[in-house]
Structure 1
Amino acid sequence: MPETAAPRRARGAFSGTRSAVLAGLLAAVPVLAGCIAEPGPSPTGTLSLSTAAPGITSGAPSTSAPLETTQSSNKAPVYWIGRSNSDVFLYREFRDVPEQENPVTRALRAMMSEKPLDPDFFTPWQNPKQLATSISGKDVITVDVSEDAFNSNLDADMAARAIQQLVYTATAAAASSGLIDSGQQIRVRILVDGHTDYVAFDHVQLGSLMARTAGLVAPVWIIDPQENVEVPDGSVKITGRSTLPGGKLRWQILRSGDNGDKTPFLTGETTAAADPAQAGVFTLALTLPEGDFELRVAQTSSADGQVDGTEDTRSFKVR
């Protein structure tokens, strides 16, 4: 379809987990969670941020936004939106996806049509009727999506976050599948029904090349195990990433009782890798018995080990 310059507009901390905080955000749009998987009418409310999006409009320190490395797994890297303390960040999951389409299209389709595994995450995108992607040269990804993907009412900060969610997912899928050279900056052009200059969610002008905005990924997140997976008892390997290479992290394992109450089981500290090849990565090897557990990992902000409020949580089962 030919491009046109005609403007177009869219229609429409260890004391607790992020779930309670996120509930207040989702309450603003009660119909959003129910319409992620299928396209539908625009919600009547507006999904908004109570604070400026770090890395977009606030004075939050920038962090690097490195591309994923090539992996042999067929799982697709998909970014979601989630809260940590008073800020909103991007979090990544690896998802099983059908192989009928190219890796970038598969990852974006999952981002727009599926629900995150972690209930603390969400996506404002809607399942589009049309979605196609292509790669030009070694550094430009073009995404052409139908207008119905934007049928959510967002404020300006959340709209900017959603567009970066797409940029992160598209570049992650292309890099992890080896389709692009991850040693250079990869840019994304978003077309809507083949047109440039669409105003996404009534706030973000599309059509120009976009790159990852630094400072948007979560300061700390747990990579493995993923939400609610079962792992064998004995030695359980936990991996994650911090945006502060060499930074200190506090972690805690809670065990769920028969009545659902969670009690502390193990607590400790670790250090994120400072080596550029594994910058920010942390690994734990814990011996756990059978049971239901929750892992909490938080960055520390001072020499005495006080957490800075940025935390990720993950529920998993040992069987």
Structure 2
Amino acid sequence: MPETSVPRGAARAARPSRARGALALLPALLLLTGCIADPGPEPTLTAISTAAASGSPGAPSTSAPLETTQSSNKAPVYWIGRSNGNVFLYREFRDVPEQENPVTRALRAMMSDKPLDPDYFTPWQSPTELATSISGKNVITVDVSADAFNSNLDADMAVRAIQQLIFTATAAAASSGLIDSGQQIQVRVLVDSHTDYLAFGHVQLGAPMSRAAGMVAPVWIIDPQEGTDVAGGSVKITGRSTAPGGKLRWQILRTAGSGDKTPYLTGETTAGSDAAQSGLFTLALSLSSGSYELRVWQADAGNGDELNVDTRKFNVS
């Protein structure tokens, strides 16, 4: 994903401790850090995530491509958001402290921060302890304390929370150049250095897991980020769709001081279909100073309904 820094926020959850024992038992791992923060069988993740991805109406069947190496030191963080009655993963790029390795700091932001966009949320709680490492076989090991899981979630939301972690960990490793993005990347989650933890009471952890198809949002706006200020004139807007070559419609609303919104510009664009730009879309809009809201969606060819809408508020100086 050749994408620049970017974008979204509200709900939360979870936490207990020790990132030493299990990592010591993994001599093949290249230890990145062991970072400590202040701050009745269940179906497996594979079974649940497959059902969730294929059983949700309107859920895309594609898997999200891995992020490519970024020159920016912003951390890619995935959040959970709702659209058209479905629940998907959306990504923002966040400023994070640099004292930890890229995977650890991205996961810490996911578990401890709030999304910029109020349409997104995270069910995770800030953990007492968190450590990550990467093996030579592209397996990321995350060792987190049990207090990170303190939210009360149903099975479907629990699956999405675990996928949120998997997407964030793999995105951070790929965008920072720590892994070979040309190979399959998996994530293994330990809780207090132990395997076989039942996350949120529903998802069995311990075995390596991969990104699940259909979890990523069908449409999301990359730039500008929620609430950011951009220079007037030609404002560049970028985003991504999981339907390469598909038609997208967009609308710009201008927001008055009273909060009232009025239509300002509308249009249509096509998501990129070539391999290097798969699903990407770009708009260059002439906007004067003021406050705006951008809306982008996939149009229903049958009845014109707005499908998988993503929105973004920003200011033009």
Smaller-chain TM-score bracket = 0.7 to 0.9
How far residue 64 of structure 1 moved from its aligned partner, in angstroms, is 2.3
Within 1, Cα distance between the matches of 2:108 and 2:245? 35
How far residue 184 of structure 1 moved from its aligned partner, in angstroms, is 1.4
SS of 1:63 mapped into structure 2: coil
How far residue 75 of structure 1 moved from its aligned partner, in angstroms, is 0.1
Aligned residues of 1:54 and 1:87 also touching (Cα < 8 A): no
Q: Superposed, which structure 2 residues align to 1:1-319 within 5 Å?
A: 32=11, 54-55=52-53, 57-58=55-56, 60-302=59-301, 306-319=304-317
Aligned residues of 2:14 and 2:147 also touching (Cα < 8 A): no
The one-letter code matched in structure 2 to 1:314 is: R
Unaligned runs of 5+ in 1: 1-18, 27-31, 41-51
How far does the alpha carbon of each residue in 1:229-286 deviate from its partner, in whole angstroms, 9 at most, with x for none? 0001101000000000000000000001121100000000000000011100000000
Within 2, Cα distance between the matches of 1:272 and 1:185? 26
Give structure 1 regions of 4+ aligned residues with deviation exceeding 2 angstroms. Answer: 35-40, 56-61
How far residue 216 of structure 1 moved from its aligned partner, in angstroms, is 0.5
Within 1, Cα distance between the matches of 2:315 and 2:51? 34
How far residue 57 of structure 1 moved from its aligned partner, in angstroms, is 4.6
Aligned residues of 1:224 and 1:240 also touching (Cα < 8 A): yes
Aligned residues of 2:14 and 2:148 also touching (Cα < 8 A): no
How far residue 58 of structure 1 moved from its aligned partner, in angstroms, is 3.7
Identity %: 73
SS of 1:240 mapped into structure 2: strand
Aligned residues of 1:228 and 1:315 also touching (Cα < 8 A): yes
Within 2, Cα distance between the matches of 1:132 and 1:190? 10
TM-score (norm 2): 0.83
Unaligned runs of 5+ in 2: 1-7, 16-36, 40-49
The one-letter code matched in structure 1 to 2:311 is: T
How far does the alpha carbon of each residue in 1:49-104 deviate from its partner, in whole angstroms, 9 at most, with x for none? xxx98416546441122100001000000000000110000000000000000000
Partner of 1:44: none
Aligned residues of 2:231 and 2:316 also touching (Cα < 8 A): yes
Within 2, Cα distance between the matches of 1:160 and 1:116? 19
SS of 1:226 mapped into structure 2: coil
Aligned residues of 1:126 and 1:148 also touching (Cα < 8 A): yes
SS of 1:164 mapped into structure 2: helix
Aligned residues of 1:53 and 1:87 also touching (Cα < 8 A): no
How far does the alpha carbon of each residue in 1:160-186 deviate from its partner, in whole angstroms, 9 at most, with x for none? 000000000000000000000111110
Mark the CA change 1:307 to 1:275 in structure 2 (over 3 Å): closer, same or farther. Answer: farther
TM-score (norm 1): 0.83
Within 1, Cα distance between the matches of 2:77 and 2:153? 21
SS of 2:147 mapped into structure 1: helix
Mark the CA change 1:153 to 1:229 in structure 2 (over 3 Å): closer, same or farther. Answer: same
Within 2, Cα distance between the matches of 1:153 and 1:217? 22
Within 2, Cα distance between the matches of 1:180 and 1:286? 37
How far residue 309 of structure 1 moved from its aligned partner, in angstroms, is 2.1
Aligned CA RMSD, in angstroms, stands at 2.3
Within 1, Cα distance between the matches of 2:137 and 2:69? 15
The one-letter code matched in structure 1 to 2:316 is: V
SS of 1:105 mapped into structure 2: helix
